[in-house]
Amino acid sequence: MGIGTKIKEYRNKAGLTQKDLADKLNITYQAVSRWENDDAEPSFDMLKDICKILNCSTDDLFEIEKPPQDVKEKNQPQIIEKVIIKETEKKLVFGVCEQCKKPIYKAGDLFNVNESYRVSSGRTTHIESRKKILCKECNEQRILQEKRDEEYRKKQEQAAFRKTRIHSFIWPSLLAIIFLIVTIKSFVDGNTSSGIGFLVITVLSYTFLGTMILNNTFLTDMWLEVASWGFVKMPGIIFSFSFDGIIFLIAMKIFLFLLGIVLAVLAASFATALALGLSIFVYPFALVKNLKGKE
């Protein structure tokens, strides 16, 4: 029976778990587990603390029988020397790396890190975290991988911003070309006032659509908020349960439906007119934010 089995035996007698013993010794429970599996042995100083906690002696742990009373004292130092030599053959284990499964012999090489992982529950997912023990080499690899992931994420974000910026140039330009053709035709036909009006619409439509596509300013939220004013809840209709009453109900439903459409169109038109006027001032800021990679 090895020392690990005796540690486990006296630990159970003391009513302690591996974690309880590890907490009292200020080490990890993996170290206690390795002792009890005879994969490693505690140092002599650690052994004295274990004996105090488990209320036993080193002789009990190493199963050394006490010498008879008539044995001379000169034989006793040989037993103590044997214990010391045996203990120095093993290294103190502070923990086991959960990545490479190697024991950690130095406190400075043990790293407690938080590991995040995704948990799926039906159609929903959430992020949870737990502490993980890593050695120095595995922790350096983790830091290097995190830097690589962060660089990749930034590249993806920059690509997304660049794609949005390109769309904010292409589609407004196509719309502006249409209005510009009408503007030129108006000037050619001698309709100066119409030409100026279409020229203004050309500029405003470009800045408005560009700002909406960039979608990094207050303008989109403002347009949605103002446009939502047209979607009002219509009142209920009181009618008598008769032929005339049913005809009245159908007529009122049609009227309220058409009224709702008119209100929605008016609200959307007002929101668009307001956003058009503001877009010429907001668009430069939206473009600068996109170039800087800001939402």
What is the model's pLDDT at position 80? 42
pLDDT value of residue 129: 79
Q: How many CA atoms, within 13 angstroms, populate the side-chain half-sphere of residue 186?
A: 16
Least confident of 65-79, 86-100, 232-246, 276-290: 65-79
pLDDT computed for residue 278 by the predictor: 93
Q: What pLDDT is recorded for position 77?
A: 47
Q: CA nearest 132: which of 110, 105, 150, 147?
A: 110
Residues 5-34: pLDDT tens digits? 888 888 888 888 888 888 888 888 888 888
Burial level of 258, CB count in 10 A (0-12/13-18/19+)?
exposed
pLDDT at 89: 45
> Cα separation of 230 and 263, whole Å?
5
Closest among 260, 257, 252, 256 to 231, alpha carbons compared: 260
Q: Which residues contact 83 (CB under 8 A, 6 or more apart)?
A: 44, 58, 62, 64
User: How is residue 112 written in tokens?
Assistant: 């407690």
Give me the residue label for tokens 């214990």. 83
Mean pLDDT of 182-211: 90
Please tell me the predicted confidence (pLDDT) of residue 8: 86
> Which 3 state secondary structure label does DSSP give 291?
helix
Angle made by CA atoms 59, 62, 67, in degrees to the nearest 5? 45
pLDDT digits (tens, 9 = 90+) for 56-76: 887 777 766 555 554 444 444
- Nearest Cα neighbor of 132 from 22, 25, 20, 28 is 28
pLDDT greater than 90 at residue 208: yes
Tens-digit pLDDT profile for residues 85-128:
344 445 678 888 888 888 888 888 888 888 776 777 666 777 77
The pLDDT assigned to 210 comes to 93
pLDDT at 64: 63
Report the alpha-carbon distance of residue 58 to residue 3 in Å, rounded. Answer: 10
Rounded to whole angstroms, how far apart are CA atoms 159 and 130? 33
Note whether 207 and 199 are within 8 A (CB): no
> Would the pTM count as exceeding 0.85?
no
